Structure 1
Amino acid sequence: MSAAVVSVIVVSYQTRELIVRALSMLRASRPTVPYEVIVVDNASTDGSADAVSTAFPDAQVVRLAHNVGFARAVNVGAARASGEWLLLLNPDTELVDDVLGELVSYARTHPEHRVYTGRTLHADGTDDGRSVFALPSVWGYLCFAAGLSTVFRRSRLGNPEELPGLDRSRPGPVPAASGCLLLIERSLFTELAGFAPDYFMYSEDIDLCLRATLLGARPVLVPGAQVKHVGGASSTSVGKRVMVLQGKTTYLRLRWSRPRAAIGRLLLATGIAIRAAGARLTGRAGYWRGVWAARRTWLAGWPPVSELPPVEIVTPADR
């Protein structure tokens, strides 16, 4: 068997049906480059790890004793990888054709980028606009606080975070790529010490791209690499939004100065407060009221890694 060129890392948490389907579609896509699969299971109780081991005996399945989130789980998988490239893939994705071959082919002819992503699609095949993002900025948070990013969602000026004016049909550099579908040199990932372990979920990919860029990488969108993304498989509406905001405020804590981070948190809180007030008045989008009620949680961000328990790997017999 040929040595792996790509190590596909999938983090699983309560996604038994989805991950088996995703890996089945990966196999059915007949990748034109040798690959290995590493699944890191975050202490699922739905039999995800056993299902993968049974259906894909060649896959490495790493079972964690506790749910340590996405960032630290990926780091566990990357430490076991042998490929030249790491491909991070969400379990709630369906590959469209040979995604691995498409990404690696582009990476080999454009090695200066070092970080690559593709397009994430809705079920109907239209782009969901969630594979690439701008780096956080005061202006972007001001637009969120003022509601401009909602009212003028298709405006580059009013909604800078989502890059609405980007032509996703052509290859081109992007500020940050989503960890849902992300190819990165394993040597670069190692040089960066992987994802910052302070993140449980969300914004760890933006943080990684920022740090990679500081080392000379140029993240790029490869439009021929496409996956359909179910999205939000393990999160409630309010719960997901709270976690997204925890990721954002963790990024502010780690990457912005204290005064700038304080401004960022204030603008985020203002934006949520306005949306919660609007939900109360109109009776619509009531989830914002729940998000506002949880503001102490997300304003604090994820706990620093110094306060987290160590990652513990178990064997099936230990469970």
Structure 2
Amino acid sequence: MTDVSVIVVSYNTSELTIRGLTTLLGTPSTASYEVIVVDNASSDGSADAIEAALPQVRVVRLPRNVGFGRAVNAGATHATGDYLMLLNPDAEPVGDVIGAFLSYASANPAPRVYVGRTLDVHGADDGRSIYALPTLWGYFCFATGLSTLFRRSALLNPEELPDRPRDVPGPVPAGSGCLLLIDRALFTALGGFTADYFMYSEDIDLSQRATAAGATPTLVPEAKVLHVNGASSTSVNKRIMVLRGKTTYLRLRWSPTRARAGRALLLTGIALRAAASRLTGRAPYWRDVWSHRTTWLPGWPAPDTASPTGENTPTAAPAVPTRQL
């Protein structure tokens, strides 16, 4: 049996996907693995290019763009590994990332969910592979600008866990889907990623549900990738998608009263940044994000329950369905 099934979701990122997978496949590994690329109906010929360049990779072609989580769910139906490893198409492995994950998981099987590290182009940890679960306090800090002014403060910027060393293994509240290993049996038992999300926060949601099921998301520092952050996204579009993911999480996981408070704090935070942008002339993207608040405030639309894959069409189709941090 295969140890690990690597799942990559591709959308108009053929060059990045081929480069990252070439590095992965060219690095000797202590683990046995297969690679599954799920192509989200790319318009740049990604599926054909990947098949031609990497014939050992299985390419699953979706007839329409279903977003990140649902594409992973589709790829998981073809997986044979004991574990699923999610890898961003714009992430380039550093060393034997599969072996690093599997070695730690074999010695520590109880966590069942394992998170890697994402590095910037200089090889430094970018601080974006682990997160705290959302809280009203965290959103208050965002609404007042405290989390931006004091990013290194664990008290005032709790979401990014600035005081959590990235080179020390151990439990974390939630991990990014950019580089994540999960027991396939657990992924199946959880029903995979929640279909309500098109992009963003689906990994936070998965971490929360896995923890509720008895798993312990755990950081594995030896599993690392270089992440070309935002390689194919625009600043405004990405922020709108991130906010849609956040408000979808509030809708699904918080009580109605708490969710309303969370949305109000997010709205306040964006209004504050948009107002500051008007006064200073800087960061004009916040004004655009504010102007699109009726799009992101409700979150992603509920999935089509008549569709076996939970497909739906977002009210404002994102231009960048590649997982970005």
TM-score by length of 1: 0.95
Q: Which residue of 2 aligns with 1:192?
A: 190
Which residues of 2 match residues 215-226 of structure 1 at below 5 A? 215-226=213-224
Which amino acid letter does the alignment assign opposite residue 129 of structure 2?
Answer: S
Q: Does structure 1 retain, via aligned residues, the 8 Å contact 2:195–2:310? A: no
1:172 Cα shift? 1.3
Q: Give the paired residue count.
A: 311
Q: Which residue of 1 aligns with 2:316?
A: none
Cα distance in 1, alignment partners of residues 91 and 251 from structure 2: 31
- Percentage of identical aligned residues: 65
1:310 Cα shift? 5.7
- Shift in alpha-carbon separation, 1:20–1:305, aligned structure 2, 3 A: same
Q: Which residue of 2 aligns with 1:170?
A: 168
Q: Does structure 1 retain, via aligned residues, the 8 Å contact 2:4–2:34? A: yes
Q: Which residue of 1 aligns with 2:13?
A: 15
1:306 Cα shift? 2.8
Which amino acid letter does the alignment assign opposite residue 109 of structure 1?
Answer: A
Cα distance in 2, alignment partners of residues 286 and 91 from structure 1: 29
1:30 Cα shift? 1.5
- Shift in alpha-carbon separation, 1:57–1:286, aligned structure 2, 3 A: same
Q: Does structure 1 retain, via aligned residues, the 8 Å contact 2:303–2:310? A: no
Higher deviation after alignment, 31-40 or 242-251: 31-40
Which amino acid letter does the alignment assign opposite residue 13 of structure 1?
Answer: Y
Cα distance in 2, alignment partners of residues 308 and 199 from structure 1: 16
1:311 Cα shift? 4.7
1:235 Cα shift? 1.7
Q: Which residue of 2 aligns with 1:40?
A: 38
Summarize deviations over 1:139-190 as a string: whole Å, max 9, x none.
0000000101000000000000000000111101100000000000000000
* Equivalent residue in structure 2 for 1:206, among 204, 208, 214: 204
Which amino acid letter does the alignment assign opposite residue 8 of structure 1?
Answer: V
Q: Secondary structure at the match of 1:46?
A: coil
Which amino acid letter does the alignment assign opposite residue 140 of structure 2?
Answer: L
Cα distance in 2, alignment partners of residues 295 and 31 from structure 1: 46
Which amino acid letter does the alignment assign opposite residue 213 of structure 2?
Answer: L
1:60 Cα shift? 1.2
Q: Give the unaligned 5+ runs of structure 1.
A: 314-319
More helix by percentage: 1
Q: Which residue of 1 aligns with 2:141?
A: 143
Q: Which residue of 2 aligns with 1:29?
A: 27
1:234 Cα shift? 2.8
1:118 Cα shift? 1.3
Q: Which residue of 2 aligns with 1:129?
A: 127
* Equivalent residue in structure 2 for 1:250, among 228, 248, 251: 248
Aligned CA RMSD, in angstroms, stands at 1.4
1:191 Cα shift? 0.4
Cα distance in 2, alignment partners of residues 71 and 267 from structure 1: 26
Q: Does structure 2 retain, via aligned residues, the 8 Å contact 1:29–1:98? A: yes
Summarize deviations over 1:82-124 as a string: whole Å, max 9, x none.
0000000000011100000000000011111100011100010
Cα distance in 2, alignment partners of residues 137 and 200 from structure 1: 22
Q: Secondary structure at the match of 1:210?
A: helix
Summarize deviations over 1:250-272 as a string: whole Å, max 9, x none.
00000000000000000000000
Cα distance in 1, alignment partners of residues 8 and 306 from structure 2: 22
Cα distance in 1, alignment partners of residues 285 and 87 from structure 2: 28
Q: Does structure 2 retain, via aligned residues, the 8 Å contact 1:64–1:312? A: no
Q: Which residue of 1 aligns with 2:276?
A: 278
Which amino acid letter does the alignment assign opposite residue 181 of structure 1?
Answer: L
Q: Which residue of 1 aligns with 2:177?
A: 179
Cα distance in 1, alignment partners of residues 184 and 305 from structure 2: 28
Which residues of 2 match residues 77-156 of structure 1 at below 5 A? 77-156=75-154
Higher deviation after alignment, 180-189 or 27-36: 27-36
Q: Which residue of 1 aligns with 2:323?
A: none
Q: Secondary structure at the match of 2:215?
A: coil
- Whether 1:227 and 2:225 are equivalent positions in the alignment is yes
